[in-house]
Amino acid sequence: MSKLADIVTEFEASVSADMDDQALKQLRAAYLGRNGAIAAFRSTVDFASLSPEERAALGKELNEATARIEAGIAAAKDKDGPTSNAPAVDFDTTLPPMTSGIGAIHPITAAQMEIEDIFRGMGFRTYNGEEAVTEFKNFDALNIPADHPARDMQDTFWLENGMVLRTHTSSMQNEAMRDFGVPVRAIFPGRCYRNEATDATHENTFYQLEGLYIDEGVTVANLIAVMKELLDQVFGRDVKVRLRPGYFPFVEPGFELDFWTEINGKWRWLELMPCGMVHREVLKHAGVDPDRYSGFAFGLGLTRLAMLKFGVQDARLFNKGSLSFARQFTATL
Amino acid sequence: MKISLNWISDFVDVSGISPEEFGDRITIHTAEVDEIEEQVVETARIAAVRVTDVTKLDLPDRPGLTAVTLETGEGPARTVCGAPNVRAGMIALAAFPGATLSMGKSVESGEIAGHPSEVMLCSAKELGLWDNHEIIVELPTSVAPGTGLADLIQPRDTLLEIDNKSLTHRPDLWGQYGFARELAAILSRDLAPLPVSDALDAAGLPQVDIAVDAPDVVPFFSAAGLRVPQARVAPLTMRHRLGLVSSPSRDILVDVSNYVQFELGQPSHCFDARIVPSLRVDRVGAARQFTSLDDETHEVAAEDLMIFSGDEPVGLAGVIGGANSRIAPDTQDVTLECANFDGTRIRRTAARLGIRTDASQRYEKKLPVAFADQAPGRIFKLLQDAVPETEATAQRTILRRDATEPRRIHVAAGAMTRRAGADIPDAQSQGLLRSIGFGCEDARDGYTVTVPEFRGEADITTWEDLSEEVMRLFGYHNITPEMPGPQIGTPDFNIRIRGQHRARRILSQSYGFAEVKTYGWHSKDWLSKLGFERRHAPLTIVNPRGSDTADMRDTLIPNLLMVANENRRQAQAFRVYEIGKVFWIEAGEKVEFNRLAGLMVNQRKKASARDSFFELRRALEDIAVAANHPGFDAWHIAAEDREGPWQDGSAVALRIGDRTIGTMGVLPQKLVKTCLDAGHAIWFEIDIDEMATDLYPAHQHRADTPFPGSRQDFTFSWPVAEGYSKLHAVLAAYENPLLADWRLTDAFHKPGEAKANYTFYFHVQRPDRTVTSDDIAEFRADLLRYLEERKVESLST
């Protein structure tokens, strides 16, 4: 059987990494082809005369010899490395995918998703809301007097059917208390409208996220804690907050919530959201006993938060549908 | 509104506290301080002088220039002056050589037009006192020449600019005195009472003839008569303070009226009594013109409130006086009007006419009636202090609509602690309330609080209103945050919002879509460019931003096509979607719900619309599956049911079961031309909330049977015009216990042919034993019979 070993030795002496594909093809034919050295060797063997054990042993040797020749040719083809690391494919696997590009989620949505997650952790449900609402829901139910300037044409979009485009997500308070009953912890994200001229910080279409928490014995201390927890989560640090007096007809007392932050390299208080203890008239309008229940509400400006969080300077960009803007906010959520 | 710490210090000791600390304390306890401004008036080498002689120079190129001789207190001096009000005998302010004026200009002696100019007679603006550069400052004759400017005013002051929005509910804070009261409470210092005179209420004087013909909007109206001798000016301190808080000084009568407006917050008006001996207030009654004292003419409406003298309008109530009755330099007898008008009435008039004055701004806040009662006494006191000869000539006459009863509110024991979540004992609460003028007395189960009459009517009505007063003075920063107790149970998921978020993730993360938001209305102009006619009655805005954008959108597609149009040069291929509301009116009722719509744009001419279509179809299929549906069936839309020009023969209705959830299709070439440069766009719009189901469904596991089944392939020929989904529905309705699973594996349609071939795979299996050839034959025969009955042509046997 040393004849087979000789063939392999002879092959290994003649194969070389310098050979081009054509030469390797010819070499392969000379050894493994129909008239090659291996086939010639096989034709010299009388298999019928061999015992089964001998036949098996010879078969194994033939396979090994063939494999060594195949491997030698493959190694010569692969100029850069040993045969065992040869790639299984002949295309460039370092290319990026080019099927559909990278998608994006609107920054307002991204902010909303995050706040929803944070509040869910604190036991708040998320509630849907309508954008075209009755005057009652937007104003009366919130203790906003009939002659309040907010109801004027220059502030509110009135609809021909007598409704209004909601000017704040507070329009959901009444419905939420009626639908869920009390106690209730809920947030209502959504689009709001105000009839005003637009500039970099004013938009007639903007986004808020209202929060409402009604239970027995809810305190101002609770409100501060929940607001602080929200901001700690959003900004990923121990955020310093403060309340100061603010006036909104649907809360009493009403507050402006500021947080301590760095703006252009300088630390200062920044006004972030109005909030307050829900006014007894608002509770009464929703059929809730104000002498038994108390609670707080807050109106987080999603547009404002997205501007802060994503460094957007112009509120009008959010509704513009500009691709160059939208594509910056890759879908990481 | 600006507050001056010097002015405040007339009533409360403000020493020992930095301006920044004032700003912080007022912000956290009362109202937001926007800005702190240090004001300094240069006083060195500026002093009072008496003008002793004025000689006209009659220079042709500089008419009006005069040579002036002065008494400085240290001898005579000469100068040249062009001010129209320079006259012999007046006391003026002069800058001596070496003085620096407000704009940084330094004064030197020299010559003007050949005449010596040893000092400079100054205007208020040159000295930085108030905004007037027309005339030189005139001082009361009681001021001795040589008196330094530093002794006539308070040269240094700190102004705090308060955010007006934070004062909307606090009419008591629209004057310096209100803030003095707050600061006294915040600093725990004493508050001095506002000095007033009761001379106008003296008995024995004649009364002023007044009438209120619109009592519903005039809760309080008063007038008094007084006489101030001619040749008078207000004290320089007063005029300087007015200048600092924004009102330039004029005549003493106007100055004092303004001063009280800025000090107490109450507007008033001085009429020349020769023209206005009596007053009547009423609605205008019929639209007419009115010329205000700034000589502007306004179109006033019937409902506007006007002050008349006889039938002559002399003042637009609460807004501005009339040109016909203003104070003249020779006015001595004055009718002093001081009233309380309905805030809303004044706001509407001022807003419509576009004249927001210091007065209207205050009335809008619903001033307390008490201020109108208090102001005349303060005005008279200030006039008398400035000009001792001032006298009352007519007794103050008052027409008051309502009797005033002090408001009393009961506060339950411990209420403040329970509200705050911090320990604020009742005694401390009462102390805080007393510090800002509230009365407190113990009562059963708590205490009773009397609301002072200077607090606005709407401001304090309930114990919760009092809780704000207590807590803000206590300091919100002294309340320790405390998380609410744990609730029982987890809140429900909002399946609609979660469903929307899942759809977003699929489109944005897996299919390269960018989410956009567009306005809630349509542009009529754009709709007509698209050739879109609404099918629904629109929900329409009465007062839209533009006449083009009155109708709320009833589909998201047009706005997305506009996005595509505006972005077509940004990228050749892009994908956008929006989740937002659509609205319309149906049977008189508003319809409003969420839609998800999108566009897949490829402007490369050779790009395959087919590939795009089925990639999008795949994406929508993913959304359906994520919402726990097996997928959509696509059905042709009959021509009469198409909803917009983007729906042509390619448009399909996407159904789940027998519900149509949305539509999709290839944008017709006509619209491609309108919106894009070239290529194609695939659009879709679905009622996303209609898909909401269980977020975490419990799919039932089907155990594998150990008995092998058999795969059976069939090919059917079916009219293309009928649509695949119809064939699918026929197959879906087929029932056979041997059928374990089936699906479409191939479709072939030769363009132009009426029929297409669809190949299906059917898996035949039994739970109890291996299927036999008999089972298979039986199944095939049964299926083919079923299909034949339903006119489905099989190419398999």
Q: Which residues of B touch A318 (CB under 8 A)?
A: 517
Q: What is the average per-residue pLDDT within A34-47? A: 86
A160, A220, A247 ranked by CB distance to B166: nearest = A247
Q: By the 8 A CB rule, do B235 and B229 touch?
A: no
pLDDT of residue A243: 95
Is residue B553 predicted with pLDDT exceeding 60?
A: yes
For residue B718, the cross-strand partners are B756
Q: What is the average per-residue pLDDT within B526-538? A: 94
Place of tokens 């005139």: B138
The chain B residue lying nearest A130, using CA atoms, is: B592
Structure tokens at B303: 């409902």
Distance in Å, alpha carbon of B541 to nearest chain A alpha carbon: 4
For residue B716, the cross-strand partners are B758, B794
For residue range B314-372, list pLDDT tens digits in order: 999 999 999 998 888 889 999 999 999 999 999 999 999 999 999 999 999 999 999 99
CA–CA distance, B466 with B675 (Å, rounded to integer): 61
Handedness of CA B339, B343, B349, B353 (dihedral sign): positive
Binding-site entries of A for Mg(2+): 252
Q: Rounded mean pLDDT of chain A?
A: 89
Q: What is the average per-residue pLDDT within A105-116? A: 94
A105, A120, A252 ranked by CB distance to B491: nearest = A120
For residue range A157-196, list pLDDT tens digits in order: 999 999 999 999 999 999 999 998 999 999 999 999 999 8
A100, A244, A327 ranked by CB distance to B476: nearest = A244
Structure tokens at B21: 């600390």
Is residue B99 predicted with pLDDT exceeding 70?
A: yes
A56: pLDDT confidence band, cut at 50, 70 and 90?
Answer: confident
Distance in Å, alpha carbon of A304 to nearest chain B alpha carbon: 16
A94: pLDDT confidence band, cut at 50, 70 and 90?
Answer: confident
Backbone angles phi, psi at B253, to 5 degrees: -65, -45
How distant is the alpha carbon of residue B355 from its chain centre? Answer: 19
Which amino acid is located at B198 in the chain? D
Q: Which residues of B touch A165 (CB under 8 A)?
A: 520, 541
List C-alpha distances in Å: B232 to B48, B144, B228, B241.
16, 16, 8, 18
| Cα Rg of chain A (Å, integer) | 38
Is residue A80 predicted with pLDDT exceeding 60?
A: no
Q: Which residues of A touch B491 (CB under 8 A)?
A: 120, 123-125, 185-186
Pick from B226, B411, B434: which is nearest to B333 by CA? B226
Is residue A96 predicted with pLDDT exceeding 90?
A: no
Pick from A233, A247, A275, A241: which is nearest to A259 by CA? A241
Q: Of A121-125, A149-153, B603-607, which gets the smallest average pLDDT?
A: A149-153
Test B418 with A108 for CB contact under 8 angstroms: no
CA–CA distance, B488 with B478 (Å, rounded to integer): 30
CA–CA distance, B544 with B405 (Å, rounded to integer): 45
Test B30 with A159 for CB contact under 8 angstroms: no
Q: What is the average per-residue pLDDT within A202-218? A: 95
List of residues 6+ apart from B715 with CB closer than 8 A: B757, B758, B759, B760, B794, B795, B796
* Neighbour tally for A222: CB within 10 Å: 23
Q: What is the average per-residue pLDDT within A249-266? A: 93
Distance in Å, alpha carbon of A153 to nearest chain B alpha carbon: 7
Is residue B196 predicted with pLDDT exceeding 80?
A: yes
Test A219 with B487 for CB contact under 8 angstroms: no
The chain B residue lying nearest A124, using CA atoms, is: B491
Q: Of A69-78, A160-169, B391-400, B626-635, which gets the smallest average pLDDT?
A: A69-78
Coil, strand, or helix at residue B473?
helix
For residue B269, the cross-strand partners are B337
List C-alpha distances in Å: A211 to A118, A296, B103, B174, B299.
12, 8, 52, 32, 45
pLDDT of residue B114: 87
Mutate one of B163, B468, B553, B569 to test the A interface: name it (highest A CB count within 10 A). Answer: B468
Angle between helices A2-14 and A52-77 (to 10 degrees): 0
A333: pLDDT confidence band, cut at 50, 70 and 90?
Answer: low
CA–CA distance, B742 with B151 (Å, rounded to integer): 103
pLDDT of residue A155: 87
Distance in Å, alpha carbon of A146 to nearest chain B alpha carbon: 10
Distance in Å, alpha carbon of A187 to nearest chain B alpha carbon: 11
Is B389 buried (19+), middle (13-18) or exposed (0-12) by CB count in 10 A?
A: exposed
Coil, strand, or helix at residue A156?
coil
CATH superfamily for A107-326 is Bira Bifunctional Protein; Domain 2 (3.30.930.10)
For residue range B407-435, list pLDDT tens digits in order: 999 999 999 999 999 999 999 999 999 99
Pick from A90, A64, A59: which is nearest to A77 by CA? A90
Q: By the 8 A CB rule, do B737 and B763 touch?
A: no
Is residue A81 predicted with pLDDT exceeding 60?
A: no
Q: Which residues of B touch A132 (CB under 8 A)?
A: 539, 552, 583, 590, 592
Domains of chain B in start order, with CATH, are 2-41+157-187 (3.30.56.10), 46-152 (2.40.50.140), 199-400 (3.50.40.10), 407-478 (3.30.56.10), 495-691 (3.30.930.10), 710-794 (3.30.70.380)
CA–CA distance, A186 with A169 (Å, rounded to integer): 12
Test B512 with A318 for CB contact under 8 angstroms: no
Structure tokens at A187: 């947030």
Residue ranges of alpha helices (H) inside B426-556 are 426-435, 463-474, 495-505, 524-530
Distance in Å, alpha carbon of B418 to nearest chain A alpha carbon: 7
Pick from B280, B175, B167: which is nearest to B218 by CA? B280
Test B515 with A109 for CB contact under 8 angstroms: yes
pLDDT of residue B487: 67
pLDDT of residue B746: 92
Q: By the 8 A CB rule, do A272 and A257 touch?
A: yes
CA–CA distance, B253 with B269 (Å, rounded to integer): 9
CA–CA distance, B602 with B609 (Å, rounded to integer): 8
**DSSP 3-state percent helix, strand, coil across chain A (nearest 5):** 45, 20, 35
Q: What is residue B107's DSSP assignment?
A: P
Q: Which residues of A touch B458 (CB under 8 A)?
A: 145
For residue range B632-679, list pLDDT tens digits in order: 999 999 989 999 999 998 899 999 988 999 999 999 999 999 999 999
Test B468 with A126 for CB contact under 8 angstroms: no
Test A116 with B468 for CB contact under 8 angstroms: no
CA–CA distance, A203 with B555 (Å, rounded to integer): 22
The chain A residue lying nearest B507, using CA atoms, is: A103
For residue B759, the cross-strand partners are B715, B746
Is residue B786 predicted with pLDDT exceeding 80?
A: yes
pLDDT of residue B306: 97
Q: Of B111-115, B219-223, B771-775, which gets the smallest average pLDDT?
A: B111-115
Q: What is the average per-residue pLDDT within B153-161? A: 95
pLDDT of residue B699: 79
CA–CA distance, B107 with A297 (Å, rounded to integer): 61
Is B546 buried (19+), middle (13-18) or exposed (0-12) by CB count in 10 A?
A: exposed
pLDDT above 90 as % of chain B: 85
pLDDT of residue B206: 94
CA–CA distance, B522 with B562 (Å, rounded to integer): 10
Is residue A106 predicted with pLDDT exceeding 80?
A: yes
List of residues 6+ apart from A217 with CB closer than 8 A: A294, B418
For residue range B7-51, list pLDDT tens digits in order: 999 999 999 999 999 999 999 999 999 999 999 999 999 999 999
Q: By the 8 A CB rule, do A106 and A302 touch?
A: no
CA terminus-to-terminus distance, chain B: 92
Angle between helices A52-77 and A37-44 (to 10 degrees): 170
Test B512 with A319 for CB contact under 8 angstroms: no
Q: Which residues of B touch A294 (CB under 8 A)?
A: 419
CA–CA distance, B711 with A275 (Å, rounded to integer): 66
Is residue A83 predicted with pLDDT exceeding 70?
A: no
Q: Which residues of B touch A183 (CB under 8 A)?
A: 487
Read out DSSP for B682-701? Answer: EEEEE-GGGG---SS--PPP
CA–CA distance, B229 with B386 (Å, rounded to integer): 11
Coil, strand, or helix at residue B793?
strand
User: Who wins on pLDDT, B310 or A149?
Assistant: B310
Read out DSSP for A12-49? Answer: HHH--TT--HHHHHHHHHHHHSTTSHHHHHHHH--GGG
List C-alpha distances in Å: B166 to A8, A246, B26.
96, 6, 11
Residue ranges of alpha helices (H) inside chain A are 2-14, 21-32, 37-44, 52-77, 107-121, 135-138, 173-180, 220-235, 280-285, 302-310, 323-326
Q: Which residues of A touch B484 (CB under 8 A)?
A: 213, 215, 218, 222, 225-226
The chain B residue lying nearest A105, using CA atoms, is: B515
For residue B636, the cross-strand partners are B652
User: Who wins on pLDDT, B185 or B702?
Assistant: B185
Structure tokens at A194: 């105000």
Test A245 with B472 for CB contact under 8 angstroms: yes
pLDDT of residue A14: 85
Q: Identify the H or E element spanning A262.
A: strand A251-263
pLDDT of residue B686: 97
List of residues 6+ apart from B703 with CB closer than 8 A: none
Which amino acid is located at B277 in the chain? P
Q: Which residues of A touch B585 (CB under 8 A)?
A: 161
B168, B471, B512 ranked by CB distance to A247: nearest = B168
Is residue A82 predicted with pLDDT exceeding 60?
A: no
Q: Which residues of A touch B478 (CB under 8 A)?
A: none
pLDDT of residue B748: 92
pLDDT of residue B349: 95
CA–CA distance, B230 with A278 (Å, rounded to integer): 58
CA–CA distance, B321 with B569 (Å, rounded to integer): 59
Distance in Å, alpha carbon of A110 to nearest chain B alpha carbon: 10
How distant is the alpha carbon of residue B371 from its chain centre? Answer: 28
CA–CA distance, B389 with A20 (Å, rounded to integer): 122
- Three-state secondary structure string covering B24-90: HHHHHHCCCEEEEEEEECCCCCEEEEEEEEEEECCCCCCCCCEEEEEECCCCEEEEEECCCCCCCCC
pLDDT of residue B143: 94
Test B592 with A131 for CB contact under 8 angstroms: yes
CA–CA distance, B389 with B386 (Å, rounded to integer): 9
Domain ranges of chain A: 2-85, 107-326
CA–CA distance, A166 with B407 (Å, rounded to integer): 35
A161, A165, A255 ranked by CB distance to B476: nearest = A255
